[in-house]
Structures are given as structure tokens and as C-alpha cells.
Amino acid sequence: QQPVQSPQAVILREGEDAVINCSSSKALYSVHWYRQKHGEAPVFLMILLKGGEQKGHDKISASFNEKKQQSSLYLTASQLSYSGTYFCGTEGAGNTPLVFGKGTRLSVIA
């Protein structure tokens, strides 16, 4: 079951914050976040495991609420380099391959 991401697209000015959500109808064991720039490979950002943990590096962080089967990615004080499409990938029990959402296109403008 493909996770649902929202919003589909967002435009920010440099320095603004954004939240990208990812929700699933299935029980999740972990959530991965990736960023893909146009014409390039998706790049791994972080994994969140069940247990409701929150992670972050630099000004990008994420949370995972396993009871609600939701994860959110937080981008604070956005930079031009944050532009790209963000994908969440979800993993259920049984070590199954990641299932990705359709992505959220983020554009940061000066």
C-alpha cells in the first residue's frame, strides 16, 4: 500500500519553514526519507524506527508516530539547496522492500 504524502508541492522563500507529511494505512516498522533533485538519484536523508523517535541533522528533522502510522519531515530556515522532491519510503514487518509515496516537490526561491 503506497503511503500518502502531503502537500504535493510547496513553494518557500529562503528562510521559511516547511512540513511534509507521510501517512500509511498499514502498520509501519520504519520510515525512510529521501530527496531527489531533477535528473539525479534519490539521496538518503534519514530513517526513523518505530518507537516514536525523532531525528535530525542540520536544519532537517523528522518524527514518526507509529500509532498513527504517520511521519513528518521538518525543514527549518530553508535554503536554496533544499529544493527538490522529497519521498517517504515505508517498511512494514517482515523486512519487505520500501514502498515510496508519490513525493512532495519543494521549491525554495530567493
Partner 1 sequence: NAGVMQNPRHLVRRRGQEARLRCSPVKGHSHVYWYRQLPEEGLKFMVYLQKENIIDESGMPKERFSAEFPKEGPSILRIQQVVRGDSAAYFCASSPRQGHYYGYTFGSGTRLTVV
Binding site for partner 1 (CB under 8 A): 2, 29-30, 32, 34, 40-44, 46-47, 49, 87, 89, 91, 95-103
Tell me the closest approach of the beta carbon of residue 81 to partner 1, in angstroms.
Answer: 18
Tell me the closest approach of the beta carbon of residue 30 to partner 1, in angstroms.
Answer: 4
Question: Rounded distance, CA 106 to CA 78, Å?
Answer: 10
Nearer to partner 1, 14 or 54 (CB): 54
Question: Rounded distance, CA 46 to CA 73, Å?
Answer: 10
Burial class (CB in 10 A: 0-12, 13-18, 19+), 73: buried
